[in-house]
């Protein structure tokens, strides 16, 4: 099974900062990688699919990159609404796996 | 508006069974593959199972194989998860999700809580 490893597990930042979260796959997944945002008590929200394609309605300060085994999610200028948990996920294989998550907290 | 509404969660003893349901509306249910994903409150997400639009392809995470059964009734716009021989490790919030045309889950329900405890 493909394993997804996210880092860091916790990230402290301030409004206006640029932040980057990394996700590594245990084997190549091409670009079959999605990123989700989850706020407390809410279901996850799809941000990015195919590693770098922004889901409709997602602000352009979010961006994704990578292919193969290494991927990143970047937020160019943090807004107060962005403090949440973020998960990567590989898909389009027989079984899907999520990364363990990154909690983005206010410094 | 796409809506997914889960139900059927609750408190069950170890070794017991539950059947979760997910009522879909606002889209052509029989055009989409569907998934169950679970989350221990405060922890990460775990994909549990998927079913293709016509029930022709079904997958499970290893930890539930032989115990959980996913199914769907396209005439009723409903997705199901039959969970047998439950253990404390199955305690989680269970979400149903629609696999979008772009690949990953694009719509999620609000979740139904399953608690396995004696």
- The residue of chain A nearest to residue B41, with distances taken between CA atoms, is A41
SS3 B61: coil
Over its length of 107 residues, how does chain A's per-residue pLDDT go in tens digits? Answer: 889 999 999 999 999 999 999 999 999 999 999 999 999 999 999 999 999 999 999 999 999 999 999 999 999 999 999 999 999 999 876 788 999 999 999 99
Which residues of A make CB contacts under 8 Å with B? 1, 32, 34, 36, 38, 43-46, 49-50, 53, 55, 87, 89, 91-92, 94-101
* Distance (Å, whole) CA A45 – CA A61: 16
Chain B: closest CA distance from residue A17 (Å): 25
């Amino acid at each position: 099974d493909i394993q997804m490893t996210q880092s860091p597990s916790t990230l402290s930042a301030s409004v206006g900062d640029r932040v980057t979260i990394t996700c590594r796959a245990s084997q190549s997944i091409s670009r079959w990688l999605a990123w989700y945002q989850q706020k407390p008590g809410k279901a996850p929200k799809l941000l990015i699919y195919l590693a770098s394609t922004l889901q409709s309605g997602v602000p352009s300060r979010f961006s994704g990159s990578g292919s193969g085994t290494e991927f990143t999610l970047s937020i160019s200028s943090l807004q107060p609404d962005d403090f949440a948990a973020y998960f990567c996920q590989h898909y389009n294989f027989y079984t899907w796996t999520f990364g363990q998550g990154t909690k983005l907290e206010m410094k | 508006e796409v809506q997914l509404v889960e139900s059927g969660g609750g408190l069950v003893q170890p070794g017991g069974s539950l059947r979760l349901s997910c009522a879909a509306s606002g889209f052509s249910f029989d055009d989409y593959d569907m998934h169950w994903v679970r989350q221990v409150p405060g922890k990460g997400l775990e994909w549990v199972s998927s079913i293709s639009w016509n029930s022709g392809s079904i997958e499970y995470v290893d930890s539930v194989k032989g115990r959980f059964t996913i199914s769907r009734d396209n005439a009723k716009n409903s997705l199901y998860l039959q969970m047998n021989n439950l253990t404390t490790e199955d305690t989680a919030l269970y979400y149903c999700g629609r696999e979008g045309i772009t690949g990953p889950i694009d719509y999620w329900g609000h979740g139904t809580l399953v608690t396995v405890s004696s």
